[in-house]
Amino acid sequence: GSTLRGSFNSTLSEEAKKDSAKRLELASRATSGSGLYMTEAARFNTIATLTNLAALESNRMPMLLEPGLLDNICRAVHNEHSDVPKQCSALAIMNLSNGDMDNVPEMASNDMVLETLLKLIREVNPETRRNAVVTIFNIACSDLNTVRLARYRDGMILEALTELVGSDDPVRLHDEARANAAETLFNMACSDISETTDRMANHAGLLECLAVVLRGEHTGLEVKMYCSATLRRMAELIRHPMIAQGALLSALVKAATWTSTDCIAEAFKAQASEPENCVIMAHHHGLLNALSRLALTSGDDADVDKVRRAAVGAIELMSRQDEARALLARNEGIIMALTKASYGDEGSLKDESLTRQSMMSEMDEATFDQSYGRFEGDEDEEASVQSRRIQLALKNLVSAM
């Protein structure tokens, strides 16, 4: 045991040394270069000229191929004391990151650029922050780049984006950078490379931050929509026995107040679509209550109806597993949600004092096809199938009481 511990500590020490050496090298590169010997006015004029040149699409790729040009723009960020040259540099880097119709610049392989973006994303000036985040978004349009972004300094870029998205500050209510950061996380979550999404799933606090944002008082609708969409995407990817599943389920429980779109309800349904997840979901603290509240969401518009349908769909999927079914049957909200979905507003729910016996009697009178075929005379086959599944799920839950 002591030998393994010593080997592990030695490995950590070596990694720490490499990281420290790399950062020293970057610091050295950032504080060197012929441009630093120019007057401040000359440097600013040069950066402004490069910014204007980079605004033209046909110039971008040739500029990126020019040795040392991008590094020198980054050096201005690390060495200028005035905010204006930093703002100009951030705009130049953002312009270059747009590439052209055929190319997404491989800027993620340049550590100097990534370190510069980390500095810019924490600047006070809102336009500078926005330009830095838009640059990261542009870079993340390439799947290979998303891995490099997620890996950099063991998740420092993910951390910076998470902090920005989670800044529930009334002063920043209309902060474009925050919306851009939320969109960037969603863009990265859509990567086809599993390492990118795995690193996002396992990044400490990221999933919880997305959920908390949905309950924020000083958060714009656009930010919330991207956060809910990212949680839905992660729910499609995370499953048992992944370590991140517990954090995901906790995040979904916190996010269950979100009903402006069906993303959170669909996230629960995505989890329930994997049989091995259902028992874990049923045991997770607060999940059944959260899911039943979504299934009982009040409102008549189409978006609310989608939320209810997705939540009820998740309950129905969970009810197919014996162990999960026993837990579902003991939750009053789950039973009420299934009953309401089964009978509708004009059915037996008008008398909410249905007893177990009366529900069983009603269910036994219905004719069930175990293959979930359609009701006789039903014009909508899909709705019919789902309705019969819900009624059968309710019958099974009542039987398990």
Note the pLDDT tens digit of each residue in 344-364.
643 333 333 443 444 444 444
For residue 194, give the nearest of 150, 245, 246, 137 by alpha carbon: 150
Note whether 278 and 284 are within 8 A (CB). Answer: no
| SS3 readout for 272-285 | HCCHHHHHHHHHCC
Q: What is the pLDDT of residue 248?
A: 98
Q: What is the pLDDT of residue 12?
A: 60
Residue 380: is it exposed, middle or buried by C-beta count within 10 angstroms (0-12/13-18/19+)? exposed
Q: What is the pLDDT of residue 351?
A: 39
pTM (2 d.p.) = 0.83
Q: What is the pLDDT of residue 357?
A: 47
For residue 36 the two structure tokens come to 């630093």
Q: What is the pLDDT of residue 277?
A: 97
Note whether 133 and 184 are within 8 A (CB). Answer: yes
Residues of the chain where predicted confidence (pLDDT) is lower than 70: 1-12, 21-37, 171-174, 344-380
CA distance linking residue 208 with residue 202, whole number of Å:
11
For residue 401, give the nearest of 369, 357, 363 by alpha carbon: 357
Q: What is the pLDDT of residue 7?
A: 55
